[in-house]
Amino acid sequence: MTNGKTDVWQGTLALMVLKTLEAMGAMHGYGIARRIEQTSGDLLSVNYGTLYPALLKLEQEGYIASEWGFSDNNRKAKFYKLTRAGRKQLAREAREWEQTTAIVARFLAPEEQA
């Protein structure tokens, strides 16, 4: 934890990347990282040493596609976009995450008096 920010939780980065691309359309890696941090209310910090391998893995799995373009400040950058398979994977991962958080919530809820 640095500067009061928490690193993105293990196993959630791919879900956050897919959801960001669904919401925002094609983006470069730096933009994806900034958007994830913004969406978290600046409570999460995206480590680039984790982000770029995750993007490569998502691309190899066919969930995102990339092409070279130019960023807002006219620098060459790789832009990533969600594929049809990525949309299906996002729906699958979102369902699994919702189920997982519901299970954990049961453990955190105060026990009912019988």
Please write the tens of the pLDDT for every residue from 17-71.
Answer: 999 999 999 999 999 999 999 999 999 999 889 999 999 999 999 999 999 999 8
CA gap 63, 113 in Å, rounded:
46
**What domains are there in the chain, each with its CATH number?**
6-108 (1.10.10.10)
Q: With the C-alpha atoms ordered 40, 42, 47, 48, is the resulting torsion angle positive or negative?
A: positive
Report H helices in the chain: 13-24, 29-39, 48-60, 84-108
Query: Is the pLDDT score of 3 beyond 80?
Result: no
- Structure pTM? 0.85
